[in-house]
Structure 1
Amino acid sequence: MTRTEEPGTEELHGGPAPAPRRRRLWWPAALAAVVALGLGLPALLAGGPSASGTVATAAVPATDSPEAGFARDMAAHHQQAVDMSFIVRDVTGDQAVRTLAFDIINTQANQRGMLMGWLDQWGLTQTSSAKPMAWMGHTYEAHDGSLMPGMATNTELDRLRGLSGREAEVWYLQLMIEHHKGGVEMAQAYVAASNNPAEKRLAQTMINGQQAEIALITDMLAERGAKPLK
């Protein structure tokens, strides 16, 4: 899957797309991410004015710092959300679910690119031998491809690939709630631990956007006669 065309196109449905059943709530998060992309990098690399009036350069984060750890771990976490959204996009024609998937693909791919770009600018590797979330003192027993809290297992992803229609929609929505919960937990820990203003603002944007989506997804499940997994 290489394309991220907006769901509901005539190509996919064979006719005019139905009107979205729900108002899109995710564009503020995406817009904030775009703004951060333009402003975040200089802020990450420069400090405030010094006593002489010059701008001091901030120290580059260490490879085992919360800044580097959060960037690596959230990038991996985001990638799975993008992957799940591509899967459901191709197995359902439901406009509301496809719109949600499209927004998650764009927002989280954008944010992942920012995180990877910061690591590159800091001269740090995009992967590390440290266990996921070690930077926040978190212990999680990775299993079946689930590396961090909220991440789906390979078995759960295989099930999603094998479903279609309403069954795929419900399973995707249930998995995405758990995925967002894990992402929010990680972002909250980073906001509490970091002194990096730009990355902290991005983390708060993630918290706000994903909490709003959790509420919306819960409503979408109720409309389909289903409930969250937990």
Structure 2
Amino acid sequence: MRKPVLIICGVLVLAAAAFLLFGRSGTPGDTSPEAGFARDMAAHHAQAVDMAFTIRDKGPAKEISSLAFDIINTQANQRGMFLGWLQQWGLGQATDQRPMAWMSGHGHNAAAVPGLQGGLMPGMASTQELTQLKQAQGQQAEVLFLQLMIRHHEGGVQMAEGLRQLSTRSEVVGMAQKIIDGQTGEIKLMTDLLGKRGAQPLPSILKPQ
């Protein structure tokens, strides 16, 4: 009798694990990579939008203003999609899990993700850096914005690449690829804009290819 009981217990454990990962009817569960990515990327995008508003309100050069406008619109729209997915999946927008925890337990070590320092997601600006950006003026503000946003985009690319390795859900993987393509292109643009101002990006947090 012991063997059938063990088999039943094993099935129940697997069922519970599947529920946590995929929820009901095959939708992502609360601890799934998809849910973690949506929550973390929503917060990540929110900071990018905030920084873009900060520089735009300083009346920067036309090319910086246009870049800020694009970041505000693109990332605000994508953030809305992330939050919409969570609502569609019946999941809360907030969680008690630490940032990037969705990469742990899935063959990845979140603590080893480049740029993950002080509990912040990769590429996130610190409170001190955000204060510096708000206080800076003129070309100094433009340079600092570009440096912080390049690193921020590198973090977004890092997160999107991590999700792409963990998920087969088409809409989430498709969005991750859009982030990789779009932000990689903007990194090149911002690097060129820095060069025109006689400045260089901050040390890259991306792994060498």
Question: By the TM > 0.5 criterion, same fold?
Answer: yes
Determine which of 79, 90, 95 is the counterpart of 2:46. 79
Query: Could you say what secondary structure the match of 1:131 adopts?
Result: coil
For residues 117 and 195 of structure 2, what CA distance do their matches in structure 1 show?
Answer: 31
For residues 189 and 182 of structure 1, what CA distance do their matches in structure 2 show?
Answer: 11
Query: Could you say what secondary structure the match of 2:28 adopts?
Result: coil
- Tell me, which stretches of 5 or more residues in structure 1 are unaligned? 1-56
TM-score of the aligned structures, taking structure 1 as reference length: 0.72
Bigger Rg, structure 1 or 2: 2
Equivalent residue, structure 1, for 2:79: 112
Equivalent residue, structure 1, for 2:118: 142
For residues 112 and 194 of structure 1, what CA distance do their matches in structure 2 show?
Answer: 19
Find out whether 1:68 has 2:35 as its counterpart: yes
TM-score of the aligned structures, taking structure 2 as reference length: 0.80
Q: Give the partner amino acid of 1:142.
A: G
For residues 56 and 124 of structure 2, what CA distance do their matches in structure 1 show?
Answer: 19
- Select the structure with the greater relative contact order (CA < 8 A; seq sep ≥ 6): 1
Find out whether 1:208 has 2:181 as its counterpart: yes
For residues 155 and 211 of structure 1, what CA distance do their matches in structure 2 show?
Answer: 26
Aligned residues: 171
**What is the identity percentage for the equivalent residue pairs of Structure 1 and Structure 2?**
54
Equivalent residue, structure 2, for 1:185: 158
Q: Determine if contact 2:60/2:142 at 8 Å carries over to the other structure.
A: no
Deviations 1:179-226 (A, max 9, x none): 000010000010110010111001100000000000110000000010
Q: Give the partner amino acid of 1:173.
A: L
Q: Which moved more, 1:86-95 or 1:174-183?
A: 86-95
Greater share of residues in helix? 2
Determine which of 119, 127, 130 is the counterpart of 1:157. 130
- Tell me, which stretches of 5 or more residues in structure 2 are unaligned? 1-23, 105-109, 204-209
For residues 212 and 79 of structure 1, what CA distance do their matches in structure 2 show?
Answer: 20
Find out whether 1:195 has 2:163 as its counterpart: no
